[in-house]
Every structure is written in C-alpha cells, then in structure tokens.
C-alpha cells in the first residue's frame, strides 16, 4: 500500500479535475490507502468534487493562495511550493507507508505502483539538464533518512529568492551535495514527466502538462496549458469535462 498527495488551490482546480479523473481511471487504486488533496485555497464546491472519490482526504493547510497574485513564481505560487514539501514531510512522519507526491498539472496513463522501489529512501524524477532533479514528482519512504532529506530540502528552499524557481534547484543541490544519509533512487523523467506527444512512449506513466508560455498571468497559462495545448488534447478534454465519478 502507498499514499498519494497533491497540492491544489482554486486557481488550479481545472488541472485537479484532469488529475483526479485520470488517476482513478488508470491507476490501480486497490493499492492506494489515501489520496491527500492538500487544500491551499479550494472553494467549498471544489472540495466536494474531490470528496466524491473514495480514498480522497482533504488536508486543510489553512492557506488561501491565489495564483493571480503574481502569477508564475508569485506569492501564491511560492506558498504552494513551500507547503508541498512541508506537508509531504509531515504526512510521512505520521504514516508508515510510501508517499507519492505528484504535481497537480499531470495526467495519468499507467499504474503507478511499479514505480515504487523499497530499497531506496527517496525516489526522484531525474532529467539530463543543468538542474537534474525535478520537484514535480517524488516518492518518499517512511524512514528517518527520508525525513532528514526532506528537512534539508525544506531548509534549502527557504534560502532562495521568492521570485524565481526554488523547488527543483534546491532539490538538485541537496542530492548533488550528498550531505545526507538517504539512498536516492533515480526515476527517468520520461516515466513520470512526459511533456509532449513526440516523447510519449510505452514507458510513460505520467504526462506533465507543459507550455511554452512564460506569461505570469494565470488565465493565459491555463489557456495555453489546457484549452490550447498542442499536445494531448483528446485526453485533456476527456477528463476536464467529465462529470461522472
């Protein structure tokens, strides 16, 4: 058994619908104990949407973030990033099974359970880039070494400027510095963060919706990521407009 968590606010609710519908259609939910919806500003009717799914648990952070406040890398965005690692660490400390943290702008296409490897403390998404580790996906195992690693990650994020990406650079630095006792397992990016239809393949478990736009306005980014996305339009529409559970 394992748990899954995602951080969502009202600004990201359209992504949350796609995330949730695809998870419950493509993943073997018999192996999942809880799906933690980390609420950083969902409306009551949006929370009810998630409560319609078995095993979904709303985790109230007390935050009320809004991505309209500065858009990408603005105040609301950074509050979400900061809360994600903190809540993952907290949930790991009070549970005794692996925790899979997955960004809210994802589509699931294959069962996630085979990704879990208990010989590691933490498993991370790795790519061939200057910032090699992505904070969009992580599997934390219930060990003291994982908690120590998460503490270092959280502390490093707090040292970064708040108007630039912090999560993945901080994560990469902690892994590379190797000043921790955690056994780190690499998961190739293509498995858990496929970005477009060209690189989509039989190994893909998770599509991570990406857009070429760097616009800081939320409405522009949502339109480019979802409605006008050049990739995976049939899947996006299938799950975005589904009403049955």
The pLDDT value recorded for residue 12 is 87
CB 216 within 8 A of CB 72: yes
DSSP line for 37-96: EEESS--HHHHHHHHTSTTEEEEE-S----TTTTSTTSHHHHHHHHHHHHHHHHHHHH-S
Cα–Cα dist 93/144, whole Å: 9
**Which CATH number characterizes residue 98's domain?**
3.90.550.10
pLDDT at 83: 80
Domain that holds residue 158: 2-240
Write out the two tokens for 197: 């239809």
The confidence score (pLDDT) of residue 171 equals 97
Residue 104 falls inside a structural domain:
yes
Rounded Cα distance, 127 and 24, in Å: 27
130: in domain: yes
Q: pLDDT (tens digit, 0 to 9) for every residue of the chain, 245 residues total?
A: 999 999 999 988 999 999 999 999 999 999 999 999 999 999 999 999 999 999 999 998 876 655 444 444 445 444 555 689 999 999 999 999 999 999 999 999 999 999 999 999 999 999 998 999 999 999 999 999 999 999 999 999 999 887 778 899 999 999 999 989 999 999 999 999 999 899 999 999 999 986 544 444 555 656 566 655 667 888 888 998 887 66
Number of domains in the chain: 1
Residue 48 main-chain phi, psi, to 5 deg:
-65, -35
């Amino acid at each position: 058994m394992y748990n899954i968590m995602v951080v969502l606010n009202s600004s990201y609710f359209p992504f949350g619908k796609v995330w949730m519908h695809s998870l419950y259609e493509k993943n073997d939910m018999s192996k999942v104990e809880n799906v933690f919806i980390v609420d950083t500003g969902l409306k009551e009717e949006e929370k009810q949407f998630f409560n319609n799914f078995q095993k979904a648990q709303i985790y109230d952070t007390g935050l009320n973030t809004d991505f309209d406040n500065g858009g990408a890398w603005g105040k609301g965005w950074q509050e979400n990033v900061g809360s994600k690692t903190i809540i993952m660490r907290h949930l790991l400390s009070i549970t005794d099974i692996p925790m899979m943290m997955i960004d809210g702008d994802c589509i699931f296409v294959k069962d996630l359970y085979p990704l879990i490897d208990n010989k590691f403390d933490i498993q991370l998404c790795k790519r061939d880039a200057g910032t090699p580790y992505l904070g969009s996906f992580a599997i934390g195992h219930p060990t003291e070494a994982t908690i120590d690693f998460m503490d270092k990650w959280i502390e490093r994020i707090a040292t970064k400027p708040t108007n630039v990406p912090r999560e993945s650079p901080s994560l990469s630095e902690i892994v590379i510095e190797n000043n921790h006792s955690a056994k780190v397992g690499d998961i190739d990016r293509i498995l858990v963060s496929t970005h477009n239809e060209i690189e989509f393949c039989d190994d893909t478990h998770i599509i991570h919706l990406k857009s070429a736009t760097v616009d800081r306005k939320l409405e522009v980014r949502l339109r480019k990521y979802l409605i006008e996305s050049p990739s995976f339009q049939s899947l996006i529409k299938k799950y975005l407009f589904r009403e049955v559970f």
